[in-house]
Structure 1
Amino acid sequence: MAPGVFSSSFRDDFLVFISFRGFDVRYELIGFLYAALRRAGVRPLFDEDFRRGKEIWPEIERAIVGAKMSIIVLSENFANSEWCLDEVVLIMELHRAAGQIVIPVFFRLTKAVVEQQSGSFADPFAIYDAEKPEKANTFRAALSNAVEISDGDRHVAPAIRPAEKVVDDIVLNVLEKMNLESLDADYKGLVGIKPRMLQVQHLLDAPSDGICIVSIWGMGGMGKSKLSECVYGSCCGQFDGFCALSNYEGDQLRRELYGMRNRGYKKVLILLDGVNKVQQIEFLADLCDKVKFGAESRIIVSTRNRQVFKGVGCEDFEVRTYEVPPLTSPEAHDLLRLVAFGGNSPSIDFDAVVEGVIKYAGGNPGALIELGKFLSTKPDARLWESKLKKLTRFPLPGVNSDLMTSFDELDSEERTIFLHVAFNFKRRGKEAVIAVLDACDLDAINGITSLVDRSLVLVDRYDRLSLHALHEAMATEIVRKDPTWTIENLR
């Protein structure tokens, strides 16, 4: 079966699927392995997390496809389970077609038994050969591939070796293959991520009387999703259960939350990435009211829109908002140097134009990355200067499409107010602008509040309105491309 036909609801870079024969290893090995992986910040998942039956096989397929890695624990009675062998077939197909990381473990048996289907594997394969010869050959090929990719004798565990030692070695190998030296790994290439992670973790750790939501909020391109994922990955091991969903449907969230409740989890961590509708938080509030997680549970929500927390039932949560700050000037220089110059310092010819690019991006890492990639193909500083002059009128498509998501979510009146602010009211006092727009029969106070909550309009300490340079360029692009908007009409 082709892995491409499956779509995963799991969005966890630290998800590991474990295929094993419960009869052999559930108590002697898997319990230790499950706990050790969780302590290491890795989410272990296996088919026993689902209710048995043919109807749950699609869920298991999605779990395997969504996993960063699979561990196959081959044991004495493994071949007696056609279900386990089906898992191995899918895992090895994903390894071949999609590069999924696989760690085979040989527990209390030799590689030869698996590869040759001898010993305890002989009788079940005799039955498969007689009843399902084609499937038997598929099983053989998958097992042979598993033996072939195994790491020497590293995970061959004879009876004399304590299970705890086997587990320690497996967990170390998992972290090595995931390039996770520890939860304090150096997040290479993620400029400025560590101090921001600490600030979010401080909000998560502060005590609360009930379930607390930490909202990671900011304009498009600020790195909300990556920051959320890094925080989630660094602390999920502290919770009984955890799940991460992006751009999710209600059924996915219901399935995850009820699954954790059915497993008896009370202290849970939930990551919801890309939440931009009030209805999503209302649905979450209703589910949390039903599943009754403990007060130490935490929910991380990344969003462009603070208004998602103003719906029915949202008052049941304590919401703590972390506004993602722009990169500092040194951080912006580091990121641009990394992307555009391969980590090297640019020649002095580029000094002025580098400053111009950084000023234009305004500390937005997504914009800096897109600009850096584009400009990395331009070896001459004069080409950079030429492109920079055009950016105010012709933004890079990758940058503009990301920002346009927030504009597209506005109603027609909010769009009108946004463009009025962009072309007529920058650096004007908010109350004065509201008075003018109210006189034009626009609901200015609610419109401007919505724009501020979506990071489309900024209010400085003097209560003056302004826009990020990227949003100014976006506004110019809107009126240039769409004949229904003209600067003359806006004025």
Structure 2
Amino acid sequence: MAIQVAASSSCHSFSTKYKYDVFLSFRGEDTRHIFTVPLYDALQHKQIKAFIDDKKLGKGERIAPALLKAIEKSRISIIVFSRNYATSTWCLDELAHIIRCKEQKNQVVMPIFYKVNPMDVQYQANSFGEAMAAHEVRFRDNVEKVQKWRYALSEAARLPQAWLFEDGCQSGFIEGIAKDVYAMLPPKPFHNIGHMVGLEPRIEEVMSLLDDSDEGACMLGIHGLGGIGKTTLAKAIYNSIFYQFDGSCFLSDVSKESKKFRGTVCLQQTLLSEILDEKKMKFGSVHEGISKIKHRLSRKKVLLVLDDVDELKQIEELAGRCDWFGCGSRVIITTKYKQLLLAHNVEKTYEMKVLNDHDSLELFCWHAFHTINTPKGYQDMSTHVISYAQGLPLALRVIGSNLANKNLEEWRPILGKYDRIPESSIHEVLKISYDCLQDGAKSIFLDIACFFTEEKLESVEERLEACHSGARFYIEVIVEKSLVDVDRDGCLWMHDVIEIMGKEIVRREDPSNPGERSRIWDYKDILTMLHEDSGSDKIEGIMFDPPQQEQVEWSGMSLKKMNNLRILVVRNAQFLTRPKYLPNNLRWLEWKEYPCTTLPSDFSPGKLVFLRLQIVFSNWKSH
């Protein structure tokens, strides 16, 4: 049984700097292990930062100032009233301070009556009456203290946001409290947007389209050029409204992720896990995933974002129809291709337009000067520079970062390069930032663009340091240049427009023959090269990771021509013949389902720094 009233709106407008979301006041010997710790764990699971005191005070000890400070620095205080709560002077001091914070700072206070009658607390009857009578005897020379405690007990028991547990399912009761607390707290942004320019009116326009829908589920598509800010807009909207739904999920880079081995199944698993707040469920096919999404989410109000969709089947297999989701659900799709939205009968669409000159200048200045205003002496050049970006936020960010921390004399030769670029070639505009890098940074950039987007930064740094002296420094440089980012999970992330630019730089090394390029990542090119033994000493890195497992027939000698090969990564492929030769220049060797128990006898691993082999035992007999 629960007594509950919604929190007042004031809890959404706190201005105090809080350290904790929740402070837990409880009698340790009554409820620590059987109730309060499970409640703490449930709050933590919802990413609610709670304070729980682990210390046990001896008789007569006073409450520590740090504990009082923790109460003051919490948005919400939860008081777990139990049978022996009032026997502890420490608990009573906590309670008195909590009530003071409620009265003076408008702190939200939630009493939980754990197997006690609220009337016993309010009027100090039964165990609470006995405890207070004992305190009056003990503190007969300090009547004011006891009166303060009695007042705090009475005030707390009368509060509207209250929960009463007598018996029944305790885990469900705890989950209900956690959900209530989560709803009371101001929404926490899931995605870091950075400096927003020109987004507010766009957010309002999209919100208007979402609000204009009927009570059923609604799909909305955001379309526009690559680098125009579709993902940023979707993240901003997600941050603004996610807490209004039963569950939410933002699926990033759908086009890229869906093309990986079992990629769509993994996306379906992530979708269900995040919306239902459960561990990832296991299923073996896209069809089974569709069935589970429809079954589990058809009565839930959900928010789902499919970011960067480039094929119709991605929408069909992840969001299907509106009736897959409950009333009030919202599905937002971002794509470069409006035709995809029309083909799926997405009725509500929003076209992202380029930034106007005013917003373009502000965004450029933010990245070039770390301020929204143009410094004296830079006004004319800055106005000229923004014309190169054609209103694309990505280009403005990259150009601004490229010119940051440089004086006007250093700007002039760089601007000369921009001036020679055809007006329509945004890739060439972005490439200027690459051209301005040192050779070591260029090599690192190409390695990341071709091989290591979405890999953990720490892991890539460690391994590339073996291939390039100063790799960590160069990675910092290209991050500062806005050519690559590090996401909230610590993984490298590169905008697809920049990734395409990097791969195009490598492709131009020899447009007709992949075997004469420095890096190869297309699995079809790699298969052809292995079949035909057409590699060369130009190749420095190979990433063989086909979307479906490939069976590879080769002589085993194809790598003999690749004396400068530094990086060899093989995943999701079954080689029928073991490698008979490996280049001695290898620094990074990763081979899943390696078809032998030994490396080639003439391989000298003196330069090898990273080695990961997963050996296939079934292949032993054939070797």
TM-score between both structures, scaled by the size of structure 1 = 0.50
Structure with the greater alpha carbon radius of gyration: 2
TM-score between both structures, scaled by the size of structure 2 = 0.40
Name the structure with the higher helix share: 1
